[in-house]
Amino acid sequence: MIKKALGKGQADYIEIRLEEKAVTSVVYSGRELDGAGTNTTKGGNVRALYKGGWGFVSFNSMDQLEAKVAEACRAARLVGKGKSVLAKVPKVNADIRVSLKDDPRKISLAQKVELAKGYNGIIIGSKGIISSGVRYEDVFKKQTFANTEGSFIAEERVYCGAAFSAVAKDGANVQRAHDSVGGTEGYHTVLKLEQNAQQTVRDALGLLKAEKVSSGKYTVVMDPKMCGVFAHEAFGHLSEADHISENAKLKKMMTLGRRFGTSALSILDDATIKGQRGHYYYDEEGVASHKNYLIRNGILVGRLHSRQTAGRMNEKATGSARAISYQFGPIVRMGCTYIEPRDCSFQKMIGEIRHGLYVVSALGGMTELEMFTFSAMKAYLIKNGKLGPMVRDVILTGNVFETLKNIDAIGDDLELHGGLGGCGKDGQMPLPVSDGGPHIRVKDVVVGGK
Amino acid sequence: MNKIIDQILGLAKRKSEAAEVILVEGQESPVDFRSGKLHSVQHKEIKGAGLRVVKNGRIGFSSTTDLEKLPELVDHAVAGAAFGQPAAFKLPAGCRPAGVRTVDPKLEKFTTVQAVAEGNKALGILAQKAPALKCDIGLNKKSYQITLANSRGFRGRYDKTTFHYGLSGVAVINGSLTFIGQDRRGGKLDLATSVMTARIARMYHDAQKTAKLSSGKMPVLFMPEAMSLLWMSIAMGVNGKAEQKKTTPLLGRLGEKMLDPRITITDDPLLPYGLASAPFDDEGVCGAKLDLFRQGVFKSFIYDLQTAGLLNKRSTGHGSRSFGTQPSPQVSNLVISPGQTKLAQMIKNLDSGLIVYDLLGAGQSNIAAGDFSVNIGLGYKVEQGKIVGRVKDAMIAGNVYDLLKNKVLEISAETEAQGQYHTPAILFDGMNVAAK
User: What are the tens digits of pLDDT across the range A411-434?
Assistant: 999 999 999 988 999 899 999 999
Search chain A and give the residue with CA nearest B27. A59
Rg, Å, chain A Cα set: 23
Predicted ipTM of the assembly: 0.92
CA distance B293 to B295: 6
Same domain, A189 and A275: no
User: What is the band of B373 on the pLDDT scale with cuts at 50, 70, 90?
Assistant: confident
Q: How many domains does chain A have?
A: 2
Q: Say if strands A440-448 and A216-222 run parallel, antiparallel, or are unpaired.
A: antiparallel
Q: Say if strands A440-448 and A407-410 run parallel, antiparallel, or are unpaired.
A: antiparallel
Same domain, A147 and A236: no
Residue A17 is part of a domain; what is its CATH number?
3.30.2290.10
B43 touches chain A (CB under 8 A): yes
Same domain, A179 and A222: no
Q: How many CB pairs under 8 A join A and B?
A: 112
Q: What percent of chain A has pLDDT over 70?
A: 100
Question: What pLDDT is recorded for position B363?
Answer: 59
Paired with B37 in beta bridges are B34
Question: In angstroms, what separates the C-alpha of B27 from chain A's closest C-alpha?
Answer: 9
Averaged pLDDT for residues B140-148: 97
Backbone angles phi, psi at A16, to 5 degrees: -125, 135
Select the residue of B48, B69, B77 nearest A60 (Cβ to Cβ): B48
Averaged pLDDT for residues B352-377: 85
Paired with B225 in beta bridges are none
The domains of chain B, with CATH numbers, are 3-203 (3.30.2290.10), 210-436 (no CATH)
Those residues with Cβ within 8 angstroms of residue A412's Cβ, 6 or more apart along the chain or in another chain: A341, A342, A343, A344, A345, A438
Taking the mean position of all CA atoms in its chain, how far away is CA A64? 36
Mutation for B interface: A79, A120, A135, A306, most B CBs within 10 A:
A79
Those residues with Cβ within 8 angstroms of residue A127's Cβ, 6 or more apart along the chain or in another chain: none
A36 or B372, higher pLDDT: A36
Report chain B's mean pLDDT, rounded to a whole number. Answer: 95
User: How many beta carbons lie within 10 A of that of residue A90, not counting itself?
Assistant: 10
Which of B171-198 are b and which e, b meaning 16 or more Cβ less than 10 Å from the residue's Cβ?
bebeeeebebbbebbbbbbbbebeebbe
Question: What pLDDT is recorded for position B113?
Answer: 97
Same domain, A9 and A64: yes
Chain A residues with at least one Cβ partner in B under 8 Å:
20, 26, 32-43, 53-61, 71-72, 75-76, 78-79, 81, 109-110, 113, 246, 327, 329
Averaged pLDDT for residues A331-338: 98
User: How many beta carbons lie within 10 A of that of residue B217, not counting itself?
Assistant: 10
User: What is the band of A247 on the pLDDT scale with cuts at 50, 70, 90?
Assistant: confident
Chain B residues whose CB is inside 8 A of the A49 CB are none
Instruction: With a cut of 80, say whether residue B366 has pLDDT above it.
Output: no
Instruction: Judge whether A166 and A202 are in contact, CB under 8 Å.
Output: no
Chain A residues whose CB is inside 8 A of the B39 CB are 79
Chain A residues whose CB is inside 8 A of the B46 CB are 60
If DSSP codes are grouped into helix, strand and coil, which group holds residue B20?
A: strand
Report B:113-132 residues touching A (Cβ under 8 A).
Answer: 113, 116
Q: Say if strands A173-183 and A299-300 run parallel, antiparallel, or are unpaired.
A: unpaired
**Residue A299 DSSP label:** E
- Of A209, A234, A253, the one marking the end of a domain is A209
Search chain B and give the residue with CA nearest A35. B84
B85 touches chain A (CB under 8 A): yes
- Of A147, A178, A209, the one marking the end of a domain is A209
B112 touches chain A (CB under 8 A): yes
CA distance A85 to B49: 40
Q: What is the largest CA-CA distance in chain A?
A: 72
CA distance B198 to B260: 33
Question: What pLDDT is recorded for position A116?
Answer: 98
- Of A176, A209, A242, the one marking the end of a domain is A209
Search chain A and give the residue with CA nearest B34. A246
HSE-CB of B150 using CA atoms within 13 angstroms: 19
Search chain B and give the residue with CA nearest A40. B64
User: What is the band of A365 on the pLDDT scale with cuts at 50, 70, 90?
Assistant: confident
Helix, strand, coil proportions of chain B in percent (round to 5)?
25, 40, 35
B193 touches chain A (CB under 8 A): no
Question: What pLDDT is recorded for position B393?
Answer: 85
Same domain, A54 and A188: yes
Q: Do A38 and B76 touch (CB under 8 A)?
A: yes
User: What is the band of A369 on the pLDDT scale with cuts at 50, 70, 90?
Assistant: confident
Question: What pLDDT is recorded for position B364?
Answer: 59
B413 touches chain A (CB under 8 A): no
Same domain, A299 and A243: yes
Of A232, A204, A243, the C-alpha closest to A336 is A232
**Does residue A432 have a cis bond before it (omega within 30 degrees)?**
no
Same domain, A74 and A174: yes
Q: Do B42 and A246 touch (CB under 8 A)?
A: no
Which one-letter amino acid corresponds to residue A376?
A: A
Q: Do A41 and B116 touch (CB under 8 A)?
A: no
The reported pTM is: 0.94
Same domain, A262 and A354: yes
Q: Do A36 and B85 touch (CB under 8 A)?
A: no
Same domain, A197 and A258: no
Q: What percent of chain B has pLDDT over 90?
A: 91
Q: Do B43 and A54 touch (CB under 8 A)?
A: no
Instruction: With a cut of 60, say whether residue A168 has pLDDT above it.
Output: yes
Select the residue of B67, B68, B83 nearest A36 (Cβ to Cβ): B83
**Residue B4 DSSP label:** H
Question: In angstroms, what separates the C-alpha of A9 from chain B's closest C-alpha?
Answer: 16
- Choice among B350-354, B372-376, B429-433 with the minimum mean pLDDT: B372-376
**Residue B209 DSSP label:** S
Averaged pLDDT for residues A232-257: 91
Chain A residues whose CB is inside 8 A of the B68 CB are 42
**What separation in angstroms does the CA of A444 have from each of A298, A376, A398, A406, B370?**
19, 17, 10, 7, 39
Domain around A433? 212-448
Those residues with Cβ within 8 angstroms of residue A60's Cβ, 6 or more apart along the chain or in another chain: A41, A42, A43, B45, B46, B47, B48, B65, B66, B67
Same domain, A194 and A218: no
Report chain A's mean pLDDT, rounded to a whole number. Answer: 95
The number of residues making up chain B comes to 436
**Residue B17 DSSP label:** S
Q: Do A35 and B73 touch (CB under 8 A)?
A: no
**Residue A41 DSSP label:** E
Same domain, A205 and A217: no
Backbone angles phi, psi at B342, to 5 degrees: -65, 145
Question: What pLDDT is recorded for position B375?
Answer: 87
Question: What pLDDT is recorded for position A363?
Answer: 87
The number of residues making up chain A comes to 450
Chain B residues whose CB is inside 8 A of the A54 CB are 40
Averaged pLDDT for residues B258-271: 98
Mutation for A interface: B24, B32, B41, B142, most A CBs within 10 A:
B41
CA distance A264 to A37: 48
Same domain, A131 and A222: no
